[in-house]
Structure 1
Amino acid sequence: MLNVHKVNRSLILPYSSAEMYDLANNVAAYHEFLPWCSGSAVLERDEACAIARIDVSYKGMKSSFTTRNELNPNQQIYLSLVEGPFSALEGKWLFDPLDEVACRVSLAVAFSFSSRLIEKTMAPVFTHICGDLIDAFAGRAEQVYGERRFA
């Protein structure tokens, strides 16, 4: 059995849970601000779910994966694998409001790869990407909503 890799991060940000949810749910814009994302698209969408594809290009590695994103607006996005180099991929974004203008954003991701060769080459890349994801979204929030500080 191949290893299950886990990444858990959270960050308190001076943006509302609705603002941060909107950024995470806007998969089509990921390629605009995530340096490792060479393409992103929403393939299907309704009120409760989106099917999204992300193309990864990082340090010479290229891959893509598709997830089913179950949407709980302004609160949570649950990700599960549809297609890609993984044997399993699950993730959860949580957006916990602290007040009207601040929230805790948490991301928990667990993944394993479909072969040892893919795991050897992709595990360090994907672990790094997941680890830096919340910081990238914090930077995107500053771009989109303006710089904010805690009072």
Structure 2
Amino acid sequence: MPRHEEQATLPYGADELFDVVADVKDYPSFVPWCSGARIQREDGREVIADLVIGFGPFQESFTSQVTLDRPKQVRVHAIEGPLEHLTNTWTFTPAGDKTHVDFVIDFQFKSHLLDHVANGMFQEAATRMMGAFESRAHLLHLRKGLHKTPHPGS
């Protein structure tokens, strides 16, 4: 079963980065290979979501359980679908005015063909996922800055 870890120290607060990762419904707009997301249930501590992923001619959907431990960690487990196993964990550790992010993912498809195809792309996919979340955090941070109310007299 492939396992990959990415780490980065980013110039954003842990809450801000947590919000990006926890916003499962927006994954199709920025996560590579994610073409759909439907929230079944959400209660602030857990999200159950159906996600559609595709690469090349393959497209599969699966149900994931996303456990939210604000602002420290987001854990994702596949609970139904074509994956024998999927776990990914995002851990956020404040580092002064920045945050250290640790992203770990491991998975295995039930289908040997899908597993073989995915394994060939696994390193690139994990790196692109981390980059996509980092880019999304940057974009949202910029938008937040643009929407600040100007000080009187400025």
> What's the TM-score, normalizing by structure 1?
0.86
Structure 2 residue aligned with 1:94: 91
Name the CA distance, whole Å, in 1 between partners of 2:123 and 2:37.
Answer: 19
Task: Give the unaligned 5+ runs of structure 2.
Answer: 144-154
**Is 1:5 aligned to 2:2, yes or no?**
yes
Give the superposition deviation at 1:47: 2.6
- Secondary structure at the counterpart of residue 15 of structure 2: helix
- Whose Rg is larger? 2
**Is 1:59 aligned to 2:64, yes or no?**
no
Structure 2 residue aligned with 1:22: 19
- Alpha-carbon RMSD across the aligned residues, in angstroms, is 1.7
> What's the TM-score, normalizing by structure 2?
0.84
Task: Give the unaligned 5+ runs of structure 1.
Answer: none
Percent identity of equivalent pairs: 27
Instruction: Please give the residue correspondences for 1:37-52 in structure 2 after superposition, counting only pairs within 5 Å.
Output: 37-52=34-49
Instruction: Please give the residue correspondences for 1:73-88 in structure 2 after superposition, counting only pairs within 5 Å.
Output: 73-88=70-85
**Is 1:106 aligned to 2:96, yes or no?**
no
Name the CA distance, whole Å, in 1 between partners of 2:121 and 2:82.
Answer: 13
Contact 1:58 1:125 (8 Å CA) reproduced = no
Contact 1:70 1:78 (8 Å CA) reproduced = yes
**15-24 or 134-143, which moves further after superposition?**
134-143
Higher relative contact order (CA 8 A, sep 6+): 1
Number of corresponding residues: 143
Name the CA distance, whole Å, in 2 between partners of 1:123 and 1:113.
Answer: 10
